[in-house]
Structures are given as structure tokens and as C-alpha cells.
Amino acid sequence: MWIECFEGDERVEGADADALVEAMFGHIRAAHDVELPDDEIRLWARNFADASAREDGPVERLDTIGAIDVVPVTEDRIDDWLTFFDRDAFPDNPDWGSCYCLHPHTGDGPERPWRDLRADMVERLRAGATVGYLAYIDGRVGGWVNASLRSTYRKYDGLDPEGPAPDTVVGVSCFVVAPPYRRHGVSNALLGRVVADSAGRGARFVEGYPRNAADGGDADAFCGPRSLFDAHRFTPARDEGRFTVMRRDARA
């Protein structure tokens, strides 16, 4: 397992999580002026270390993939969703391995144990408070999109106050594609299904939030690139500085 400093200037490797956590904690306190309390830094390092041990899925991109089958996450697919996030989603980026796509719903806040985030998201899926889709390729989950109502996202609370009511908008907040399936059209297939289903879910609009300044890396594209929304006939609705709200009529 390994931990990399959030500033990218130190990487610690080893078999013992406790030693890794303390080594990274010592580095951060010695090398960086961070206002976070000690317990929160250690918890972040622990979440990272646990994810680096847990996320053991393949990291090599496949040259070709099979047909992509996109389906909504229902009760009988939660175990597949868990396997994807537990093992396959972030083997190359374990710093994100504790997110479980809960952040759009909760917004920024103190670090929490990954098991708590995992349990909270499972309850949201079961209750229908979070709506998302899985992309299956050759029987294995290769991708996910969170396509909940914007009214459920604390991250976007107060967005576009003169625009449509948040409970009438499906917000496409996150795409997660496992390394073997990236750049094979998985996000395109996921977004296509979201758009196709949105009117049937009672939504009037569908939105995305692509970043305005992306570095071109896979991790940086978690909101989806602007070109993806352009291809599905979304149009710019509001420039928020860090990102642009892209919107389309759900019934068109």
C-alpha cells in the first residue's frame, strides 16, 4: 500500500498502514503549513492507505472493449456498485477511493471515515435519494454516473437562483470510469441513458457541470468534459468561474 502527499511531493510505501499514516503525518507537519487538526490529517492518510490496499482492480487500459450496457442502480445492483467503488474505480488514484460519490450531496466538510461514507451512500441509493447508473462491459461494471436531482446536491445549493427549480433538474455531478475502460465511450453511453430517462423521471431539464480549466487528465474529467455535453446538445446556461452549467430540455 502507499500514500502520496496531497501536494504531490512525498510518497510513502509499505505493508503497515499505521506506519504509513504516521510517516505521512510527520511529513505534512514538517513540510506544509496546513490548518487541519492532527486527527483529520491522520484520518485522511488512513482513508488513503486503506483504499490503496482495497482498490486492487486492473489499471491497464484495454485496447478494445465489448458492448456497453447502462442500467439504473436498483436494490439488486447495490452489491455491484459496492464492488466497483471498493475495488475497481480508483486503483490508480486511491486518494479518491473513500469518496463513494457522496461529496456532491454533502458538500465540503471535515474528513470522515470511508466506511461511514460508504454506508451513507448505500442508504441513499436504497431510499432513492441518490439516483445513478452503472455501465456494464462484458458482465463487469466499468463505470458510474451520479444523476440525482439537483435539489439533493448541497454542493450546488443556491446555483442559478433565477433558473429552473432544483427539484425539476437532473444534475449530472460525477462520472467514474475504471482504468481499463477509459476513453472508450463509457461516459458518453452513461450520459445518453441519463438524458433518455430524465423526462420519465419527471424532470424538465438535465444539467452538467464541466470544469472550465481542465488539465486533460482522467481524474480531472470526473464532471465530464465540455465536449461530451456539447455532443448531447447541452448549451451553456451559466458561467460559474470554475465550471460552466450546461443545460438541455429533458423533453427535447
pLDDT, position 221:
82
Q: How confident is the model at residue 242 (pLDDT cuts 50, 70, 90)?
A: very high
List phi, psi (to 5°) of 93: -150, 60
pLDDT, position 157:
96
Longest alpha-carbon distance in the chain = 56
Residue 218 confidence (pLDDT) above 70: no
Residue 220 confidence (pLDDT) above 80: no
Q: How confident is the model at residue 214 (pLDDT cuts 50, 70, 90)?
A: low
pLDDT, position 213:
83
Residue 90 confidence (pLDDT) above 80: yes
CA-based nearest residue to 170, from 119, 211, 131, 136: 131
Task: Kindly list the structural domains of the chain, giving each domain's residue range(s) and its CATH number in brackets, ordered by start.
Answer: 2-54 (no CATH), 68-249 (3.40.630.30)
pLDDT digits (tens, 9 = 90+) for 158-177: 999 999 999 999 999 999 99
Residue 215 confidence (pLDDT) above 80: no
In Å, how far are 16, 42, 112, 119, 201 from 39, measured between CA atoms?
A: 19, 5, 11, 21, 42
What is the C-alpha separation between 217 and 58, in angstroms, rounded? 18
Least confident piece of the model among 7-21, 29-43, 61-75, 204-218: 204-218
Residue 67 confidence (pLDDT) above 80: yes
pLDDT, position 216:
61
What is the C-alpha separation between 220 and 225, in angstroms, rounded? 9
The predicted model scores a pTM of: 0.94
pLDDT, the chain, mean: 95
Task: Report the 10 Å Cβ neighbour count for 37.
Answer: 11
Residue with the bigger pLDDT between 221 and 223: it is: 223
Continuous segment of H or E residues that includes residue 70? strand 68-72
pLDDT, position 5:
94
Task: Report the 10 Å Cβ neighbour count for 82.
Answer: 16
What is the C-alpha separation between 21 and 234, in angstroms, rounded? 44
CA-based nearest residue to 67, from 145, 144, 136, 143: 136
Report the share of the chain in percent with pLDDT over 70. 97
Instruction: Please tell me what DSSP assigns to residue 35.
Output: -
pLDDT digits (tens, 9 = 90+) for 110-148: 999 999 999 999 999 999 999 999 999 999 999 999 999
Over residues 44-48, the mean pLDDT reads: 97
